Amino acid sequence: MTESTQVLPAADDMTPDLETVLAAWHTATLRLEETHKVLRDEVCRLTDELEVKNRELARKNRLADLGQMASHVAHEVRNNMVPVTHYLSLLRRRIGDDPGSMEVLDKITAGFTALDVTVNDLLHFTSDRDPRPVAFSPGELVDEVYSSLAPQLAAQAIETVVDIPDAIRITADRDMLRRAVLNLTLNAIDAMPDGGTLSAECRSTDEGLELTILDTGTGLTDEAESHAFEPFFTTKCGGTGLGLAIVYRIVEVHGGQLTAANRPERGAAFTLHIPNVVAREAAA
């Protein structure tokens, strides 16, 4: 009987296989590390995005609660102002020959006028109606707003510049957009008590329309730039802090964005980004 002999592979014959296994293990480890990094970055991104959305949801909930309260207060105040305004009218007729009493009455009337502005701001801020879009020229709208404020602009030595091509058209709620432009214009006028230049620029993009109101005032402080669109935030003495918040809501219900920035040369710029603009050349 012959014995069979088993021949084992030499050590040199095993080396390539071991090197291959180690190389594959190293490659797999690197891929796992890369995958882990990608997943970690994605989790961080989604977490940040969730926090932003949660903050936005919380803000909208606060605004909704605030809107209901403000609407109730505004209506109650307006209802009580109607008879008082009527009585002031009757009183004016009776004391028309008394200059001293008329001066006091004028101050009372001015106070009620300021209160009426505040009530209007509250009602506009709490308005929850959907936009009623129509096609119109933003240039004509700006001219209309500037014309209505011509005496105030002249009194403060403010020049106006409208750089909006006649060919540009926009489809939006005209009344809402007029209110937005009016508020931004009044804000710009307040920023230029010693005169300056008030400008309006507009351009059509693939996404919609950008309408910018610019002034040559002192610009925005860091705090104002961060909180400008928050309700009741104001840097003006006696201001309601609702002007820019109303503009923000108007742009928001149109599905757009409102941005504010300081100009490099001087002053501030507020831009309304309105989507779904209808822009066409006059020759088209």
Q: What is the pLDDT of residues 232-251, one digit of tens each?
A: 666 665 555 677 888 888 89
Shared domain for 224 and 180, answered yes or no, is yes
Please state, rounded to an integer, the average pLDDT across all residues of the chain: 80
Query: 197: part of which helix (H) or strand (E)?
Result: strand 196-204
Which structure tokens are listed for 259?
A: 């941005």
- For residue 82, the tally of other CB atoms under 10 A from its CB is 9
Q: Last residue of some domain: 111, 128, 145?
A: 128
Shared domain for 139 and 268, answered yes or no, is yes
How many structural domains does the chain have?
2
Shared domain for 108 and 167, answered yes or no, is no
Residues in contact with 71: Cβ distance below 8 Å, sequence separation at least 6, in sequence order = 122, 123, 126
Dist CA 189 CA 153 (whole Å): 7
Greatest C-alpha distance within the chain: 148
Identify the domain containing residue 114 by its residue range. 14-128
Query: Between 141 and 246, whose confidence is greater?
Result: 141
Residue 34 inside a domain? The answer is yes
Shared domain for 100 and 169, answered yes or no, is no
Q: Is 0.95 topped by the overall pTM?
A: no
Shared domain for 76 and 27, answered yes or no, is yes
Pick from 45-49, 81-85, 239-243, 262-266: least confident: 239-243
pLDDT of 13 strictly over 60:
no
Shared domain for 155 and 261, answered yes or no, is yes
Model pLDDT for residues 50-73, shown as the tens digit of each residue: 888 887 777 667 666 666 676 667
